[in-house]
Amino acid sequence: MDNKTQDTDRLDPVTFEVLKNSFITSVDQMAEQMLRTCYSFVIYNRDFSNALHDAEGNSVAQGNQDIAVHVGTLHFTCKDVIRVFSGEMLPGDVYAINDPYAGGTHFSDVRLVRPIFDDDDLIGFSQSNGHWSDLGGSVPGSFDVSARDMFREAVRITPVRLFRAGEFCHDVANMIAQNTRDPASIIGDIHSQAGATAVAEREIQRLVRKYGKDQVLQGMREVQDYVETAVRNRIAALPDGEWETVDYIDRDPAKGEGMIPIRIRMTIKGDRITYDFEGSHPTISSIYNSAPGATFSAVVAGMKTFFPDLPLNSGFYRMIDIKAPKNSVVSAAWPVAVTGFLMPFEKIMNAIFEMWSQIMPDKAIACAFNLEYLLAGGRDLRSPEKPIFMFYEWLPGGWGGRNGKDGSDVTTACFGTGLMSQPNEGNERVNPTRTVEFQILRDSAGPGKWRGGAGVQKTSILLDSEDAVMSYICDRERAVVWGIEGGLPSMPHGLSIRRSSEKEAKWLGSVFSDYPVHTGDEFARPTAGGGGYGDPLERDPQAVCDDVASDYVSLERAAKDYGVVLKELDADLCEFEVDLPATEKLRGEIRANRKQWARMPAEEVAMLYRKGEIDSLDAVRRYATILDWETGELLEKTTAQFRESFERRTVSHWT
């Protein structure tokens, strides 16, 4: 259906602007309602999004802090609710859906949809999406990386009524909640999200009383047309052409080593843009698959980053075409496991960053760190009244270096920039954990003329608990965060654990589930920084000196990665001085040897690592080699893939 209207029917500019901003404000008010009424700590830390839709389910407005991962999926789930309940909807109805195969993300993202009426006329919908910290399945938190299908993941909610004409459907809600590990919080969050949808309903009905139904409906159409026209004009002003790249998921757990490619070809022709995923890997035997709705959202979120001034609604989607091979890692179908969709999601986003960086070099940005989830659950011996705890945490990290500017330090992931960094005190209050270390991680930023942003290191101890298990959902342990235009990678992701009865920590890596943990166990994990932009040997030596003084970079890595030699004037006062003659000499030596280092036989690199002569940063940044970071075993196929990427993004730009 063509939503465009004749110029003679259009709103006057003042009314248009008032309605456009009122629609967005109504969604922002939904967020404020959720923050004040939600039960779960996860939603309180802004793992939620809201939207306003027209009567056909098209998105009219998103909120200003809605997280990127949801923005391109909410219209799909609204349309699925319409498909099921069309002709049966009543004022006061609220429906629930979490179905990834109907355009959602993963089962934990539960959406509540409310039809908005003016008298008997359906004029739109409000939708509230919140991440529920547990939705059943085989492990606490509902993230079992070994799951191959949805039956081990969580409860799948196809469209269902939770409120009928304003009356709460206790039986349906309780059936859903009792299939989770925290039913009380689930019921509380249902009421919170339903209340949020009522806020938007109230605001839209207020606008109808003030401006009239026809004007409001016209405004809903025009805000979508406005965004469509703006994006079409900007695309049409760009040269036609094709760009392509590839990024990787670390592995398929059932098939040994070797990274999983996600290939994208982007084509601009006239005022349309196509993203073709031909050549991407088939679905894998893990939860790291993406259903079509999530893939669409990743494309939108990645592209929208380069159009930051425009509001986001369905008008943005009208000129985008996506081609994804069936049964691929970016187009999974029921019942393939998809809870870990965020791993392909962020690869798609960063690949799109890379391609658009070539089109808009003034906005170029290297790869950002990968979001990670740590989940633990068991019996909390501190709280007899609420014995089951659900610890669900993510950490900030670094974004990629930019053209003319360093990357953002300690920032929430591109997957969800609206997320908050969870406060330690809140987590310690609701879970039997204690934080013993949480700081910016030295040397985590990918070196470059413009370095990536820095990541963090966090270490925690499990307190009084029983029957606790832990899962870690992450990636980029092998497909390490990459630099562009000659920039260097960041560092491998992964988690280490030290048992209370042991002195040494054990590296568990980035992918495991249902791992038993006990009182007194200490677990530590870093988050990577962003990739570097530009040749690190071209970075201003004084900027490197300042980074060392600020503890972003160590003296050792200043020399190895940047070729900068510093004199330590006063360690206590963090005063250093650049030794320019020594720096010029060292940079010359690095320039003369670095291509040879990057192509050194990989088994020789592995031997140096096993002997303790080099560390993981040397292996990744200097020798472009990926190992089992616990044993030092060479990952031959993975290294070959990583080296191809390193040559293309980094070595080929060195002069």
Q: Which tens digits make up the pLDDT trace of 127-162?
A: 999 999 999 999 999 999 999 999 999 999 999 999
Q: Is residue 496 part of a domain?
A: yes
Query: Both 609 and 476 in a single domain?
Result: no
Per-residue model confidence (pLDDT) at position 8: 56
Per-residue model confidence (pLDDT) at position 4: 45
Query: Both 498 and 423 in a single domain?
Result: yes
Query: Both 614 and 468 in a single domain?
Result: no
- Cα–Cα distance, 120 to 453 (Å, whole number): 53
DSSP H helices, 431-553, are: 541-549
Q: Decide if pLDDT at 330 tops 60.
A: yes
- Cα–Cα distance, 373 to 524 (Å, whole number): 13
pLDDT > 70 in the chain, percent: 99
The dihedral sign for the CA sequence 479, 483, 488, 493: negative
CA triple 120-126-130, angle to 5 deg: 145
Q: Is residue 494 part of a domain?
A: yes
Per-residue model confidence (pLDDT) at position 3: 45
Per-residue model confidence (pLDDT) at position 70: 87
Q: Decide if pLDDT at 281 tops 50.
A: yes
Over residues 551-574, mean pLDDT: 96
Query: Both 420 and 494 in a single domain?
Result: yes
Task: Specify the amino acid at residue 561.
Answer: D
Q: Decide if pLDDT at 7 tops 60.
A: no
Alpha-carbon 497 to chain mean position: 25
Query: Both 224 and 371 in a single domain?
Result: no
User: Which band of pLDDT confidence, cut at 50, 70 and 90, is reported for residue 205?
Assistant: very high
Question: Quick one: tokens of 382?
Answer: 């501190």
Query: Both 518 and 637 in a single domain?
Result: no
Question: Quick one: tokens of 452?
Answer: 């990536």
Q: Decide if pLDDT at 69 tops 90.
A: no
- Domain end residue (candidates: 534, 553, 569): 534
- Domain end residue (candidates: 172, 197, 229): 229
Q: In Å, how far are 4, 103, 235, 293, 498 from 320, measured between CA atoms?
A: 17, 16, 11, 13, 48
Q: In Å, how far are 54, 123, 149, 553 from 218, measured between CA atoms?
A: 10, 11, 44, 55
Q: Is residue 555 part of a domain?
A: no
Q: In Å, how far are 53, 60, 191, 227 from 4, measured between CA atoms?
A: 16, 14, 37, 12
Over residues 196-211, mean pLDDT: 98
Q: Is residue 196 part of a domain?
A: yes
With a CB cutoff of 8 Å and minimum separation 6, the contacts of 5 are 218, 221, 222, 225
Structural contact between residues 554 and 443, judged by C-beta atoms closer than 8 angstroms: yes
Q: Is residue 289 part of a domain?
A: no
Residue with tokens 């299939």, as numbered in its chain: 179
Structural contact between residues 223 and 311, judged by C-beta atoms closer than 8 angstroms: yes
Where b means 16+ CB within 10 Å and e means fewer, 164-194 reads eeeeebeebbeebbebbbbbebbbbbbbbbb
- Cα–Cα distance, 333 to 261 (Å, whole number): 19
Q: By three-state DSSP, how is residue 328 classified?
A: strand
Q: Is residue 589 part of a domain?
A: no
Query: Both 484 and 609 in a single domain?
Result: no
Q: Is residue 221 part of a domain?
A: yes
Per-residue model confidence (pLDDT) at position 23: 98
Query: Both 160 and 24 in a single domain?
Result: yes
Per-residue model confidence (pLDDT) at position 49: 95
- Cα–Cα distance, 9 to 225 (Å, whole number): 13
- Cα–Cα distance, 171 to 430 (Å, whole number): 28
Residue 111 buriedness (CB in 10 A; 0-12 / 13-18 / 19+): buried
- Cα–Cα distance, 329 to 221 (Å, whole number): 35
- Domain end residue (candidates: 490, 516, 534): 534
Query: Both 64 and 158 in a single domain?
Result: yes
- Cα–Cα distance, 598 to 593 (Å, whole number): 9
Per-residue model confidence (pLDDT) at position 117: 98
CB atoms within 10 A of CB 241: 11
Averaged confidence pLDDT in the chain = 95
Q: Is residue 218 part of a domain?
A: yes
Query: Both 518 and 636 in a single domain?
Result: no
User: Which band of pLDDT confidence, cut at 50, 70 and 90, is reported for residue 105?
Assistant: very high
- Cα–Cα distance, 461 to 473 (Å, whole number): 19
Count the domains in the chain. 3
pLDDT tens profile 345-360: 999 999 999 999 999 9
Query: Both 496 and 607 in a single domain?
Result: no
Range of the domain at 507: 364-534
- Cα–Cα distance, 82 to 85 (Å, whole number): 5
Structural contact between residues 213 and 123, judged by C-beta atoms closer than 8 angstroms: yes
- Cα–Cα distance, 149 to 427 (Å, whole number): 31
Q: Decide if pLDDT at 37 tops 60.
A: yes
Query: Both 17 and 163 in a single domain?
Result: yes
From 172-176, 199-203, 418-422, the region with the lowest mean pLDDT: 418-422
Q: Decide if pLDDT at 2 tops 70.
A: no
- Cα–Cα distance, 4 to 22 (Å, whole number): 21
User: Which band of pLDDT confidence, cut at 50, 70 and 90, is reported for residue 223?
Assistant: very high
